[in-house]
Structure 1
Amino acid sequence: MNQTDVIILGGGLVGQTLALALDLHGLSSAVVDRMPTKALLDSSYDGRVSAVASASWNMLNAIGLGEALEGKGCPIGSIRASDGLAPGRLDFESGEGEGPLGIMFENRLLRASLFGASQKAEHIALHMAKSAADVVREQEGVTVTLDDGTILKGSLLIGAEGRGSPTRETAGIRVARWSYRHHAIVATINHERSHGGIAYEIFYPAGPFALLPMLDDAGGHRSALVWTVHEKDGPAMMGLSERAFLAEAEKRMGGFLGNLALAGPRGSYPLGFHHAAKITGERLALVGDSAHGIHPIAGQGLNLGFRDVACLAQVLVEGVRLGMDAGDAELLKRYETWRSLDTLMVAMATDGLTRLFGIPGKTASRIRRFGMTAVDRIPPLKRRFVDEARGSSGKLPLLLQGVTV
């Protein structure tokens, strides 16, 4: 038997970040993931990227990943939002001395850095290419039997497997969910002109067209493209030749970045919303996409998961220092209370923006542009949006401030 404080089912970006945050404070964890080590460390670029908000970057620094990731991501200096290519836009920028709004990283680099740190950690046991065959949560603790016969015992079970979380489903936690009937087409493109560290969000009735700045490489200037289309158009978009696909992309950009070329494979995935009715149970806590899944319109999905990590880590560390069990119901209640309002507000805000900008017609477009202009001219309101983008709004846990618990 392997005794540990916490058993984490799911060793993705959120699960391993939680393990490292707990390890930093002396709490042990067993991380279980179906992915084999070889696949996790695959160095080939698969086109998947993430925007790490500045508060999330504070936490990655605090748990010891800053040195491994330094210089491997592209800082986002500003965000430029517009309703199509019509006149009128909204620019969000960091204040003087505040640093970037966030940093764009390739997911493979984040995965490799997290895994490398986890392998060296004193209090983390990795169980890769394995899954939970049996899970028992009782008043006294948690017992997980893996498919290779290994038995893990701990005080708390963490569900971090993602949107289709088996842990959440087995626990019988109800989930509000719906499909947006949209597909996100993702790709990395090279372009003739520099992006200048600007993230572009161009809203069309079919969905947002986002260009996210990436570090330049030998191919020239690069950006990650996240292009939302109606689900009926998704297969056709993926079937376009490279030349036709880039021609359509250039139309939606108005050519402001010059000539385009694909720098990696295209991918597509359906877009949906889900929100768990609760994120805790008896000796159970959910984090990341296991607890909530939102539209990528504001690039906050991973950052919501990182906020879960920072809150849960602080609650557990402070509780254990007081002599409490890591699975104590009072600690889980505190985590639930701390996270529930924030996740619901962000989820509803992204859902509302998706629906607002999906209304077709010139009148709706004029109203949206008027709203953007108004926000741009009201500094306190604009500052609120900047704080949301940076992940620095609300009651911040210590790790998001760059401070250990």
Structure 2
Amino acid sequence: MEARSDVIILGAGLVGCALAVALAHNGISSALVDPAPLDAVRDLRADGRATAVASSSWRLMEAIGVAPRLLPHANPIERIEVGEQGVRNLLAFQPDLENDGPLGQMVENRIMRVALREAAAEAEGVTLFTPARPVAVERDAAGVRVTLDTGQHLSGALLIGAEGRASPTREQAGIPVARWRYDHRGMIGMLDHEQHHRNTAHELFYPAGPFALLPMRGGHRSALVWTVEERDADALLSLSPRAFVAEAEKRLDGLLGRITLASPLSSYPLGYHRTAQLTAERLALVGDAGHGIHPIAGQGVNLGFRDVAALAEVLVEGARLGLDLGDATLLARYDRWRGLDSFMVAAATDGFVRLFGIGGSAASRVRRLGVRMVERISPLKDFFMAEARGETGALPRLLQGQPL
């Protein structure tokens, strides 16, 4: 038997589920395929991973009805302080909280996964196929047909690849990808600390990479994202909790008082990749399937949510005009809209990584001069704060909190 839907989404992670829910809210049905069953997603053990949901992405969550599921577990980011080895608070981003709200919300990944997967499962017009994997995919002028390893057959007008960095859909489509490794690894976990974080995110730059603490709910816990050189990562992971904390305290220099490790540590290699295009015949890529960047600016998943908002707007407007959802004109609009924005963010992020990775006192003095200029020039500082919020460029309506 064949299950027919408007679109077929391969990958039910944060981005894939958000897209399915956004489309369902506007009458577009989807088949959502993922190898992980719902029970596996509901594993609520703390794993140290957390997402900084930018304010524009949070408005998307509100618009598609997911924010109420997240709010009891979220912590606002009301201030960001940037420093360098030996110098704290070189630059501070402090929004007008009364008029503009916080810069974003911190939510544990496990909470995000469950909230978005359950919202997708409950949405009218979304059919979940889990656990399942595609074993055959056909795209042509007539439409899209997918055969699953369960023996089920799916059909639709458009295929959406949302499987992440190693997207098999992207590879099978032959879309070229530019990529490189940074020879660094991101160490992630949770730290409990003596002093209240005051809803402040801290990013301290060292030659080996940034050391970031992001405020979590409760006031005395922060998510850690520590970039280290590849050759040092395994040694740090093998340390006892007490020894690891001692190394972390050297970087913090008493910033939040005594600290303890509050979750298991894990790490992942850091790299950059970006596709030459986000679309092909009856195909669109979203999230990490199309672009992956360094976590230095916390924009990775937020770029994916920007993809969701733009693609949803393009498809909903196309459906209202009676167009085929796989129409090349619609896909070209999405590619133009997201291609430039994702490129600019990726290029800026890569530039920051390389700039702050230059060692030596002369480079440090130049960096501090540049950071102080940003601190003192209001329009420049406002631009960077808008970037942190994900509010630059032609903003899709969902990111403005408006319905489609």
TM-score range (shorter-chain normalised) is over 0.9
Report the counterpart of residue 56 of structure 1 in structure 2: 57
Whole-Å separation in 1 of the counterparts to 2:283 and 2:85: 44
SS at match of 2:91: strand
Report the counterpart of residue 357 of structure 1 in structure 2: 356
CA contact (8 A) 1:85 1:202 kept: no
Which whole-Å deviations, capped at 9, do the CAs of 1:359-395 have from their partners, x for residues lacking one? Answer: 0001111111111111100000000001000111111
CA contact (8 A) 2:82 2:89 kept: no
Aligned 1:251-400 pairs, distance under 5 A: 251-400=250-399
SS at match of 2:117: helix
Report the counterpart of residue 80 of structure 2 in structure 1: 79
Whole-Å separation in 2 of the counterparts to 1:71 and 1:57: 14
Report the counterpart of residue 210 of structure 2 in structure 1: 208
Q: Does 1:148 align with 2:150?
A: yes
Whole-Å separation in 1 of the counterparts to 2:147 and 2:173: 17
SS at match of 1:56: helix
CA contact (8 A) 1:85 1:254 kept: no
Report the counterpart of residue 111 of structure 2 in structure 1: 109
Q: Which amino acid aligns with 1:34?
A: P
- Residues 249/87 of structure 1: CA separation in 2 closer, same or farther (3 Å cut): closer
Residue among 99, 112, 119 paired with 2:121 = 119
For structure 1, list consecutive stretches of 5 or more residues without a partner in the other structure. Answer: none
Q: Which amino acid aligns with 1:396?
A: L
Q: Which amino acid aligns with 2:236?
A: M
SS at match of 2:183: strand
CA contact (8 A) 2:136 2:148 kept: yes
RMSD: 0.9
SS at match of 1:215: coil
Aligned 1:235-254 pairs, distance under 5 A: 235-254=234-253
Which whole-Å deviations, capped at 9, do the CAs of 1:271-318 have from their partners, x for residues lacking one? Answer: 000000111000000000000000000000000000000000000000
Residue 85 of structure 1 deviates from its aligned partner by: 2.6
Whole-Å separation in 2 of the counterparts to 1:242 and 1:67: 35
CA contact (8 A) 1:14 1:160 kept: yes
Whole-Å separation in 2 of the counterparts to 1:236 and 1:355: 24
Report the counterpart of residue 44 of structure 1 in structure 2: 45
Whole-Å separation in 2 of the counterparts to 1:27 and 1:160: 17
Whole-Å separation in 2 of the counterparts to 1:78 and 1:384: 15
SS at match of 1:178: strand
Whole-Å separation in 2 of the counterparts to 1:141 and 1:211: 47
CA contact (8 A) 2:57 2:390 kept: yes
Residue 52 of structure 1 deviates from its aligned partner by: 0.2
For structure 2, list consecutive stretches of 5 or more residues without a partner in the other structure. Answer: none
CA contact (8 A) 2:84 2:205 kept: yes
Residue 43 of structure 1 deviates from its aligned partner by: 1.5
CA contact (8 A) 2:34 2:131 kept: yes
Report the counterpart of residue 94 of structure 1 in structure 2: 95
Whole-Å separation in 1 of the counterparts to 2:42 and 2:71: 18
Q: Which amino acid aligns with 1:197?
A: N
Provide the identity percentage: 57
Whole-Å separation in 1 of the counterparts to 2:192 and 2:267: 19
Whole-Å separation in 2 of the counterparts to 1:366 and 1:88: 15
Whole-Å separation in 1 of the counterparts to 2:7 and 2:325: 7
SS at match of 2:216: strand
Whole-Å separation in 2 of the counterparts to 1:351 and 1:326: 34
- Residues 109/369 of structure 1: CA separation in 2 closer, same or farther (3 Å cut): same
Q: Which amino acid aligns with 2:152?
A: T
Whole-Å separation in 1 of the counterparts to 2:28 and 2:352: 40
CA contact (8 A) 1:83 1:368 kept: no
TM-score normalized by the length of structure 2: 0.98
SS at match of 2:220: strand
SS at match of 1:232: helix
Residue 11 of structure 1 deviates from its aligned partner by: 0.3
CA contact (8 A) 1:88 1:369 kept: no
Report the counterpart of residue 222 of structure 1 in structure 2: 221
Whole-Å separation in 2 of the counterparts to 1:260 and 1:305: 33
Which whole-Å deviations, capped at 9, do the CAs of 1:313-344 have from their partners, x for residues lacking one? Answer: 00000001000011000000000000111000
Q: Which amino acid aligns with 2:192?
A: N
CA contact (8 A) 1:88 1:373 kept: no
